[in-house]
Amino acid sequence: MNPKILIIGACGQIGSELTFKLRSIYGDENVIASDISYSNLDIVNSGFFEIVDAQDYASIKGCVEKYNIDTIYLMAAILSATGEKFPMKAWDLNMNSLFHVLNLAKAKFIKQIFWPSSIAVFGPSTPTESTPQYTTMEPTTVYGITKQVGERWCEYYNQKYGVDVRSLRYPGIISWKTQPGGGTTDYAVDIYHKAVIDKKYDCFLTENTKLPMMFMDDAIKATIDIMSADNDVVKIRSSYNLAAISFTPKEVAASIKQHIPEFEISYTPDYRQAIADSWPKSINDEEAREGWNWKYTFSLEDITKKMLFQLEKKYNTTVK
């Protein structure tokens, strides 16, 4: 029997692609998209859509009851860079929405939850290379704080109330379909847009800032894989480390220049540099690989080819 799914934050970068993928698997009638506004018409017009305020328990509960929802993917959040500009807004949205969904599960209105965490849970005192699953976590951003606290609450609700909540610590996510959502790793998306449009890009990080990254298709696959895994193999109920590749702005620029030789990159580091410097350079995701057979697919060259090909069509231009 197919799950009855509600995606909260379905108009966002990950939520939108997750919505389409889940609908292709479970059918349009079993996947309800929701957000606070009609900001993504592709999502709004593609199937069942509801206005749901992630900070309003009654709003979420009403949608759950209307469609007999048993599974929620909570994708609504204020990300790292935006969160530093609006810290209390980030705290309120990121924490209240999680509590509402956890409490719905505690009260048996729903059976299963996916909640995304992030590499932002780590901080300057964390080992930066091959960061392990269990390590020091002293985040220096509001976003990272909300994710670290959220992980503890997820584990608590699982142990105390038996809530089936599952989570992944996403690295930077790269996609051509939607615009970035205010994260520190957004340069790795924007650089491809600027390469196709302007043949140049001014990066807000230094050239050798190495960060963990992942193509959207891999992130969606990991999300669906962990939610489909048997309950007894999901051993970690805080959040799993998740990894694919790590690269620097200099390396992604070199990859682009293989296809657009005239592409130029400059560097003007801003406040996001300090955020990036507090994060790991690479992630050890052994627990995910051994626990539910996670494996990434896309290399940097694969990502560059796919991004440039799709953005060429989007902007009706030609990349050699």
Are 89 and 234 in a shared domain? yes
Range of the domain at 68: 5-170+216-241
The CA distances from residue 114 to 4, 110, 154, 189, 306, in Å, are 13, 12, 10, 24, 28
Are 32 and 150 in a shared domain? yes
Nearest to 288, CA basis, from 155, 166, 165, 112: 166
* Averaged pLDDT for residues 295-308: 98
Amino acid at 139: P
* Averaged pLDDT for residues 63-73: 98
H helix intervals, 229-299: 249-257, 272-277, 286-292
Are 96 and 194 in a shared domain? no
| Beta-bridge mates of residue 265 | 201
Q: Check residue 320 and give its pLDDT.
A: 52
Q: What angle do CA 274, 213, 155 make, to 5 degrees?
A: 85
pLDDT band of residue 181 (cuts 50, 70, 90) is confident
Nearest to 133, CA basis, from 273, 40, 236: 236
Are 140 and 106 in a shared domain? yes
Q: Which residue has the higher pLDDT, 318 or 40?
A: 40
What distance separates the 2 farthest-apart alpha carbons in the chain? Answer: 59
- Is 309 part of a structural domain of the chain? yes
* Averaged pLDDT for residues 254-259: 98
Alpha-carbon distance 218 to 173, whole Å?
9
* Averaged pLDDT for residues 36-61: 96
pLDDT band of residue 319 (cuts 50, 70, 90) is low
Please give the mean pLDDT across all residues of the chain.
96
Q: Which of 143, 192, 201, 296 is catalytic?
A: 143
Q: Are 4 and 48 in contact (CB under 8 A)?
A: no
* Averaged pLDDT for residues 148-156: 98
Are 146 and 289 in a shared domain? no
pLDDT at 307 over 80: yes
pLDDT at 193 over 70: yes
In 109-234, the DSSP E strands lie at 112-114, 117-118, 164-166, 168-170, 172-174, 200-203, 211-215
- Is 320 part of a structural domain of the chain? no
Q: What is the CATH number of the domain that holds 204?
A: 3.90.25.10
Q: What is the pTM of this model?
A: 0.95
Q: What is the CATH number of the domain that holds 114?
A: 3.40.50.720
Are 16 and 118 in a shared domain? yes
Q: Does the annotation count 240 as an active-site position?
A: no
Q: Check residue 1 and give its pLDDT.
A: 84
Alpha-carbon distance 170 to 149, whole Å?
16
Which pLDDT tens digit goes with each residue over 90-149? Answer: 999 999 999 999 999 999 999 999 999 999 999 999 999 999 999 999 999 999 999 999
Q: Are 76 and 8 in contact (CB under 8 A)?
A: yes
Q: Check residue 191 and give its pLDDT.
A: 97
pLDDT band of residue 20 (cuts 50, 70, 90) is very high
* Averaged pLDDT for residues 199-205: 97
Q: Check residue 9 and give its pLDDT.
A: 97
Alpha-carbon distance 153 to 29, whole Å?
31
Are 255 and 128 in a shared domain? no
Check residue 202 and report its DSSP letter: E
Q: Are 179 and 262 in contact (CB under 8 A)?
A: no
Number of domains in the chain: 2
Alpha-carbon distance 108 to 58, whole Å?
15
Nearest to 175, CA basis, from 6, 1, 7, 18: 18
